[in-house]
Amino acid sequence: MVTPVAEEDQMVVCSLDCKGVVIRKSQEEQAAYQREETDMRKPASFEMGQGKKRSGKKKVAVVGAVYTIGAHVRTPEDILESLFRVPDQASPPEQPKRPKPISKHIRASMQRDENGTLSPARKEIFGWLEQQQQQRNPSGQSCCIAN
């Protein structure tokens, strides 16, 4: 897939975060787990709701996103107005619409090393973000925002 190069008046935005991802079991694994649960006798403290632990249904993934977007120039008054505006109130008609993200791509990785750290996932996503930024802004003329 060819990623368009950002124009001079556009910005390249790169974002990275770690998120919990729900791990779903196959139907066979789920059925076996339920059989084991019914066969096992639970301690009284568990039945009383004490000492509950996390069920381990989530794993952490490193998620990266990159997109190109046009500038949205606002005055300090515009920003204050948007902060203190009533939520149901419509925006003033003379205000220009916000630009939409162009060619937004998202990638996630759950790779771990032998110690269980997310270091390989971070390297993979940071490498991908760097590659995307270089494809979108090869001359370095556009602004790049990382968060």
User: pLDDT above 70 covers what percent of the chain?
Assistant: 84
Contact 64, 14 (CB under 8 A): yes
> pTM surpassing 0.75?
no
On the 0-12 / 13-18 / 19+ scale of CB atoms within 10 A, 99 is middle
Give pLDDT tens digits for 11-64.
999 999 999 988 877 888 778 777 777 666 656 555 545 555 556 688 899 999
